[in-house]
Structure 1
């Protein structure tokens, strides 16, 4: 859709006396204009002809302020973002007439309503606002409607990550395990513990393609917690816990069997569940089993977990699981309590040759930095 080019001419009460009163008022125009549904995809612009703008305030129908910038010569004001769908905007402006801006002062108000979008594209962000997470956690944004490839660069430009201290990182486009489109931001290396992260998505009014539009902006923040990781060495049936780079304990368990080896590489803890039913059908084994487990730490979306396996008499002796790392109930709780959402778990020396897809959970560390950067739409 093209931006609306129509405009609305507005004047209001004038003030002043003497030589100021003899000067004409500035003619102020606002675009998009009122009188019919305004098309999507354009910013709000205010222009002054024969004078200078001295102030502009724009708000949507929920009372949210629309940020914008006044030109240095006062000739125009432009919103930072674009108009959102099915929204009424009110624009109030003041201006003074004359090229020097010393003429009559006038004030004006304009309103317009934008057209309805065929689909409103919303997002789900991970981590949640205010959460404290592990040092391997990416920023992950899942879209509920498809995002056209031709629209991705503009969307990516509208997403900003700010960190304290400063941390290098990059956005990458991902196909989630669910089939939905996703964009993740990962640091080049693991986060330093204590980092403060804020994400600002200025998405309102941006076209996501296939009839979808974003209706609002998004802001959320989170904190990086303790530096805790785990490393599983498959042949020795051992999970070693690390804090601040130092080993702080070993746990014995059973990894995947030769037929179903545990996936290798660096995984990110995506969620945890204190009690869960293990259903063989969810990992392609039909109706072979239905087992109840406790202290379940989820790695991949396809079913690679750390969990209690009280039914397994070969824990710490034989790798005989279907890809998970099973432990005693007490040890599973220790691991569950030690690792947080966003902690990393590296699996070493496994027989698995499968490359875990980045979208199969929060698997951003399955790729090196050079590979990850290629996922950006801003090449």
Structure 2
């Protein structure tokens, strides 16, 4: 069978150097995307300078200190509220027992009346053997009625008192629940701030940690230098005061000799033994303090020094560890002075004093939110429980911004 020829001409293949349009567009788009990604491959957030890390960590510790004071206040309130609730519940139990006693007495009267039956006064008169017997029986019934009425009154009184105490107990339990909620919230705040601070520190390289330690040493040195200037100024003032008192004493003695009187060594001549507030001796008699305060302050400082080296633990008040206000409270307790638990309440105790008039034993408070406190030891230095990760130590009062100071007793 013959093969039929194709009616179509074969296409001639033409070589071209022009690339396919679709491929070129996709390739260019890909190159552009890669170029854009390469241009934006830098970190989204630059690493903070070590100075900024230091400020941030210090601020987190301050915030944790403030939350610690909230925790301490809530804990103290919770303890007091729990004691009140326990007392009220005990009172309710006692009054409930009294109600039960009154109820039993009423029950006895009811049973007796049921057994004997109630007789009307007219029937009693007609059933009596003689008028005298009637009146005798009436008196007995009257006394019984009085006892019954008293039992009823007692029952009602005890019932009302128990209801009142029960309502107070319920209200106190509600307050206790609110306080415990605040306690848990404050505790969580402290933990969150400390976790954030530790996280920041953990991200530092060894070199950055060394740099941070150097910044900390510089900060401590500057604070110590300020303390030394304060001590020098106070020492100069003390010397000037002693010289003035000595000159006044000499003038009085000479005046006494010229007038032919006594030698002038008696009362009112002044001793000249006062020293500057903050000089470390606590014997200044010219600022309203006396030996009694110096004696108490000595006990406070002896106790505080004995705690040096013990760890700071937020919410702790001894004996193994302390937070800042826990240490001051425990130290002043040794001197027979009871301080509140928090810095916010301790700052309200005693007499406010200027920084230049500080004496050993005075309390120095820090930051605008009054979230830290230390015990002044003299020469611009204090003993305090600083922050988590640190131990009780001596440090310049200028290490942190001063809010104010008080003399507790």
Higher helix share: 2
TM over 0.5: no
Task: Please indicate the TM-score interval, normalised by the length of the shorter structure.
Answer: under 0.3
Higher strand share: 1
The TM-score normalised by the length of structure 2 is 0.23
The TM-score normalised by the length of structure 1 is 0.24
Rg larger in structure: 2
